[in-house]
Amino acid sequence: MGDGPPSLWEWFGRNWDTGRADSIRTLLTDHVTMSLVPVVLALVVALPLGLACARWRWLYQPTSGLMNVVYALPSLPVFMLMISVTGLSQTTVIVPLAFYGVAVLIPAVVDGLDSVPDHVRQSAVAMGFTPLRRLLAVELPIAAPVVLAGLRVVAVSSISLVSVGALIGQGGLGGLFTRAYQNPFMPPVIVGIVLVVALALVADGLLVLAQRLLTPWVRARKEAAS
């Protein structure tokens, strides 16, 4: 009587760190990289664009409309089109995901700045704050909860969409799904799903923690109200 298929834990242990490009550890590292870099890039690009849209309102509608079109593009065809520019590399996945993130974050930045009460701005001006100091010390901190809420959406969606890149050979943990499709076997699917969900929960939890640390007055106000 031959040995049966390995259990989930046996398969995980055998494939965690095999030293090959398709080991779970390598795929997890690639997934984190391809998820984190687009989020950072999106924030770096969306902040100045959002500030410009909030300052010059005529710019907001065309910018928002263009980014909505970008966000509506299906990820797989975009990845395939990017191959001709960036080749089969992680950049092929990172660049489109960064654009998707910008599309979400620009409205978040504008809405966050719109949430700053006028009397707060006027008080800052009366205290002699320069426009830059008012932005950094008053407006952005007040806008932070709205911006971070958008960043949470970007982070979770980025972690999820990276898996689609496996269809062009650059999908991090998505490689476990294609492996299971080519050779029907459930452990890779289960491990892939669990790790992707765990990454999303960790990223979301870290951003919630960042929000609590950056905006302590929000928590204090909620506690006072309760």
**Rounded CA separation 149/144 (Å):** 8
Q: Where are the alpha helices (DSSP H) in 16-139?
A: 24-55, 60-72, 75-86, 91-114, 118-126, 131-134
Q: Are 150 and 107 in contact (CB under 8 A)?
A: yes
* Angstrom distances, CA of residue 12 to CA of 162, 173, 193, 209: 21, 13, 13, 31
pLDDT in tens, 116-163: 888 888 888 888 888 888 888 888 888 999 999 999 999 999 999 999
Q: What pLDDT is stored for residue 135 in this prediction?
A: 87
Confidence (pTM): 0.87
30 and 36 in contact (C-beta within 8 Å)?
Answer: no
Q: If you average pLDDT over residues 197-211, what whole number do you get?
A: 93
For the chain, domain boundaries? 19-218
Measuring CA to CA, which residue among 103, 192, 111, 121 is closest to residue 147?
111
What's the CATH class of domain 19-218? Answer: mainly alpha
Q: Average model confidence (pLDDT) for the chain?
A: 87
Work out the average pLDDT over 94-100. Answer: 94
**Tokens standing for residue 39:** 């989020």
CB atoms within 10 A of CB 21: 9
Determine the residue type at 44: V
Summarize pLDDT for 102-114 with one digit per residue, the tens. Answer: 999 999 999 999 9
